[in-house]
Amino acid sequence: MNNELLHHLEQRINAAVEEISTLRQRISELEMQNYELSEERDEAQAKLTQQAEQTTNWENSLNQMLSKLNQLD
């Protein structure tokens, strides 16, 4: 009986060790995916910021031209 119990406990411990290993691997994969997504997010944010600046510059240029045209009238 004791040997059966020990064998059962050993099997459960081995299964738990395997599950921990699998979970650690999954955590590593998720951390890498999170890093990659963060990089993509940062790049997208930089592009949006650049586009916003370009739009502002374009609007300012248009306003200056309109102001100059209005002064001609």
Gyration radius from the chain CA atoms: 31
Q: What digits encode the pLDDT tens for the residues 24-71?
A: 999 999 999 999 999 999 999 999 999 999 999 999 999 999 999 999
Query: CB neighbours of 44 closer than 8 A, spacing ≥ 6?
Result: none
pTM of this prediction?
0.68
Distance CA 42, CA 54 (A): 18
